[in-house]
Amino acid sequence: MLYRTRSSSAAASALALAAFLGISVFAPAPARAETPVPNGKSVEAVEDLSRTFRSVGKEIEPSVVNIKVHKTIEPVRRNAPDGPANGPSFRHFFGPGAPGGSGGDDEDDGSGMPGLPGSPFGGGEQIGQGSGVIIAVDGNTGYIVTNNHVAGDADEMEIALYDGRNITNAKLVGTDPRTDLAVVKIEASNLKAARWGNSDDLDKGDWVLAFGSPFGYVGSMTHGIVSATNRTDLQIIPQGYEAFIQIDAPINPGNSGGPLVNVHGEVVGINTAIASRTGGFQGIGFAIPSNQAKQIYTILRDKGKVVRGWLGVSIASVSSADTHNVAKSFGYEGSKGVLVQQILPNTPASGKLQEGDIITAINGKNVNGSNELRNQIAMMAPATEVKLDFFRDGKMQQTTLKLGDQPANMASIGQPGAHPKTPEPAQNDSPKIGLTLENLTPEIAQRLGLGEEQHGAIVSRVVPGSPAAHAQIHIGDVISKVGAEPVTSATEAIAAIKSHDLRKGIRLYVVSPGGARFVFVQAVDKKANGGTEQ
């Protein structure tokens, strides 16, 4: 009551003062704004878009299939999460066998298929389903494009068509794990093929529609926009060739292998993966571009497997911070291109390129980074002649070479390998960069698998927190060049290192059991970490 009485007294005083001053306290409130009625043009625009979506759906739906698969999966024990700590993991959206059926995110072993109950590591027989699109019809034969992680290694496949027919005579024509694509052949009447579109025409903001069987709900369609193009280095496909279209159209388990379609009803991508912290869709999906899928489809249909071209080099993108410093040490001022780290013996690049060359273009088309070069070379057939532009000795040069056949096992070729321990050396320390070196004898070189002819100084100790440690030099690495100067012993290597200004940086050529690479070593600014400069 007390607060209410005070409030009433104050109001009476205010009214009296207003009357004395001749001010009306009962002025009418401003007119309330009326909610605008949608005009004809705005409604018509929305209806036009709806009609477009309906038209695309009717055009594409007869070509979209559901693929139910039985697979035998070896148990997989996972030692690490899918992605960076606290970051999204990438999941293929190959869903459980039926809506509400067994399997699901809680039992997902990361392989793209849900595990059976009681199989925490995804072993045993597994039943899952994905999607696909009929992309060509020849009489009563239809060819379906889908993902390798859907159809690859399938023991049995059942294809459900849009009109309710189930096809059990499906045959796997070929797979390509490096692009996660597969081609399946079926025999049936009245099949309809979808049309390929040009994925190079896509740009951010373009409307796209995703088709498939999320969670087993056959005949589903969602829409969204292109969020980005040419997404690389995602490591969705192990050792694969990635140039994904990023989309925000809702996609979920079961959508794998389904078509991504533009507003003209053309297939511009094959849905493949989502980035998610929970396993569910969070607004980021990825599709294989149609131009890549079409090329792989044609090769698989005609030959059953993909044979790729090969240069025989180990490379790194100039745009990365460490490699950029190495490129500058060669006098290269550009920000794009590919640094040649190593030339593998008896390969197409032998005698044509050198370690330290910076490739800037292939067949007249600029090359921005290593993934771009890898993808372009891999899409060419062996024996194809290519013209490379590269930087060497302070000037641009050109060479033409003929591509070779890419080896089947690329994982062990030219990649950094394990770094074996070496015997305790004589004290040949280089405190300047934080290394201890010893002479590389033919016996040690042979034991490391480097060949008796390998020369240089072998690293036997790396001081934690030193410039060498920051440059990721390891025990067992062999330093064969300091700057442009070859070194044949620990003494030569240390003398050459001392002759350089560490503040400006030193370029080293390092050979290890898994390959060779350039390393740029520079003084570590310890003041930035709360310490003092040494």
Among 516, 519, 533, 507, smallest CA distance to 471 is for 519
Considering 108, 176, 180, 477, which one is annotated as catalytic?
A: 180
Considering 256, 370, 480, 512, which one is annotated as catalytic?
A: 256
Both tokens of 532, joined, read 């003092």
Q: For 199, which DSSP code?
A: G
180 a catalytic residue: yes
d(CA 26, CA 23): 9
- SS3 (DSSP) at 54: helix
> What are φ and ψ of residue 10, in 5° steps?
-65, -35
Q: For 201, which DSSP code?
A: G
Q: Other CB atoms closer than 10 Å to residue 437's CB: what's the count? A: 28
Distance (Å) of CA 405 to CA 308, 311, 382, 410: 6, 9, 5, 11
Contact 348, 312 (CB under 8 A): yes
Residue spans of beta strands (DSSP E) within 364-472: 365-366, 385-392, 395-402, 404-405, 428-430, 435-439, 457-462
Contact 373, 359 (CB under 8 A): yes
Q: Looking at this protein, which amino acid is placed at residue 351?
A: G
d(CA 18, CA 209): 64
Considering 92, 149, 223, 500, which one is annotated as catalytic?
A: 149
419 a catalytic residue: no
Give per-residue burial for 52-80: e unless 16+ CB within 10 Å, then b. beeebbebbbbbbbbbbbebebeeeeeee
Catalytically active residues, by annotation: 149, 180, 256
